[in-house]
Amino acid sequence: MLNITSGLGHKNLRTITGVTLFAYNDVLQLVESAVGRGGKVDFSSKNLSGANLILTNLTHADLTQANLTGAFLSGANLSFTNFKQANLSEANLVRANLRMASLQYAYLGGADLFRANLVMADLRNADLTEASLDEADLRAAKYNYATKWPEDFDIGRSHAIYVD
Identify the pLDDT of residue 29. Answer: 59
125 pLDDT band, cuts 50/70/90, is: very high
Specify the pairing of strand 142-143 against strand 13-16.
Answer: unpaired
Identify the pLDDT of residue 40. Answer: 75
Expressed in angstroms, the distance from the first to the final Cα of the chain is: 33
Identify the pLDDT of residue 13. Answer: 42
- pLDDT at residue 161 tops 70: yes
pLDDT digits (tens, 9 = 90+) for 27-38: 665 666 555 545
- pLDDT at residue 86 tops 50: yes
26 pLDDT band, cuts 50/70/90, is: low
Q: Domains of the chain, with CATH numbers?
A: 1-164 (2.160.20)
Q: Lowest-pLDDT range, 12-26, 32-46, 75-89?
A: 12-26
HSE on the CB side for 38, CA within 13 Å? 0
Degrees to nearest 5, angle at CA 152 with 148 and 154: 80
Question: How many C-beta atoms surround the C-beta of residue 162 within 10 A?
Answer: 11
HSE on the CB side for 65, CA within 13 Å? 2
Report the alpha-carbon distance of residue 22 to residue 121 in Å, rounded.
27
- Is this model's pTM higher than 0.85 or not? no
Average pLDDT, the chain: 85
- pLDDT at residue 108 tops 50: yes
Identify the pLDDT of residue 164. Answer: 86
Specify the pairing of strand 19-22 against strand 13-16.
Answer: antiparallel
